[in-house]
Structure 1
């Protein structure tokens, strides 16, 4: 369960902008280091994910960045690492979905193909309360100890539920509150159990995600909070 929480939180583990505001996003600040603290169901800090922006470039009408994400446990021991991409363009921003996958403990031993399927979550520029957002689906095939493993991770029923002010140790922002469902399944040797969660994230226009919570069967599973931007 803990490793599935990490999937949720790093994906959540995830907007109203225009092209002139692209530089405000923390994913588009060259050499930026962003710390997202992870909390368990009892509101205790259980680890953190640190994102480091390694490259920012302009391509046509878009600004694109590459970043790494490293997951640390409560004792500051590095558990998993991954890479992701972020793109800002005239009609919105998109975030690489696979950034959440390497943060799962049960995925540590999976050999990921050089070019897994590309999948992104879209945040439109003209976001409004009540708006339905595009779903996202990430699928990947790898190997664990020589055995084929299929991973399916989908974000569904995304809806802008409201606007709220959120304050964290890193600052204060007016955010869009986005609610959605998560379906996850990892299959080995033809067997797999699908697991469903619900989640909410708070996304600050021109900045990025500052908070998220995840739930299963109406009970809090965990949360994330942005605690540092350098």
Structure 2
């Protein structure tokens, strides 16, 4: 279950690189009110591990809201959360506090502090582009436990272009790669490759234990409605 939660966390962070309060805010990701898309997760042998269903709410306000519902491999609901995105001058970013806010409910009356810098995705992705690192720290204080967790996404680089076919269709994509560092008591590292399509978002993700290492998980866009 710990591995599955880690996968969900990184999937949320990765897929959170989206969204948009204006129609011209980004070339990537759907913002139409009512848009819905599904990401299915598999292990390295392509055995289903679960799925995440995203729904978009856009009432023309300052933010577009994304609702994320997680299901296990048997289709049983596990959790859901809602977060908002914002425009930047030439792209979009997500505030970690917005994305992780729903997780703080599990800590009850304990004090939870979330800090770090936003995940940023520019409109124009070209092979060779180097994107800013992103980092988040969660500190929980008070009885009965105190804990500190950190997540970092570093060396974010556009490494190529490729056409990808999934159950949702065929999409021309840019490939974004980066290293991940997560510390929750013990330190875990990884390497992620993500295929992004204009106006669609994430089409495919591959998670490795390190750059050039062993494939651990695969996520695919399996349905898409706009």
1:228 counterpart residue number: 223
Are residues 118 and 156 of structure 1, via their aligned partners in 2, closer, same or farther at CA, if it must alter by over 3 Å? closer
The higher-RCO structure (CA 8 Å, 6+ apart) is 1
2:74 counterpart residue number: 75
Matches within 5 A, 1:20-169: 21-22=24-25, 25-59=28-62, 64-97=63-96, 109-111=106-108, 116-117=114-115, 119-142=117-140, 146-169=144-167
Deviation at 1:98, TM superposition (A): 6.1
* Inter-partner Cα distance in structure 1 for 2:142 and 2:182: 18
Q: Which consecutive unaligned segments of at least 5 residues does structure 2 have?
A: none
Are residues 72 and 99 of structure 1, via their aligned partners in 2, closer, same or farther at CA, if it must alter by over 3 Å? farther
> Which deviates the most, 6-15 or 197-206?
6-15
* Inter-partner Cα distance in structure 1 for 2:164 and 2:48: 18
Match of 2:190 among 189, 197, 202: 197
Match of 1:6 among 5, 8, 18: 8
**TM-score, normalisation: structure 2:** 0.80
* Inter-partner Cα distance in structure 2 for 1:174 and 1:80: 32
* Inter-partner Cα distance in structure 2 for 1:125 and 1:24: 6
**TM-score, normalisation: structure 1:** 0.79
* Inter-partner Cα distance in structure 2 for 1:128 and 1:49: 28
* Inter-partner Cα distance in structure 2 for 1:99 and 1:227: 26
Residues 162 and 177 in structure 1, CA contact (< 8 A), matched pair in contact too: yes
Deviation at 1:142, TM superposition (A): 3.3
Are residues 33 and 224 of structure 1, via their aligned partners in 2, closer, same or farther at CA, if it must alter by over 3 Å? same
Are residues 23 and 152 of structure 1, via their aligned partners in 2, closer, same or farther at CA, if it must alter by over 3 Å? closer
Q: Secondary structure at the match of 2:192?
A: strand
Deviation at 1:30, TM superposition (A): 1.1
Deviation at 1:32, TM superposition (A): 1.9
Residues 173 and 198 in structure 2, CA contact (< 8 A), matched pair in contact too: yes
Residues 142 and 149 in structure 1, CA contact (< 8 A), matched pair in contact too: yes
Q: Secondary structure at the match of 2:125?
A: coil
> Which deviates the most, 38-47 or 19-28?
19-28
Are residues 144 and 219 of structure 1, via their aligned partners in 2, closer, same or farther at CA, if it must alter by over 3 Å? farther
Residues 113 and 138 in structure 2, CA contact (< 8 A), matched pair in contact too: no
Residues 92 and 121 in structure 2, CA contact (< 8 A), matched pair in contact too: yes
Deviation at 1:86, TM superposition (A): 2.3
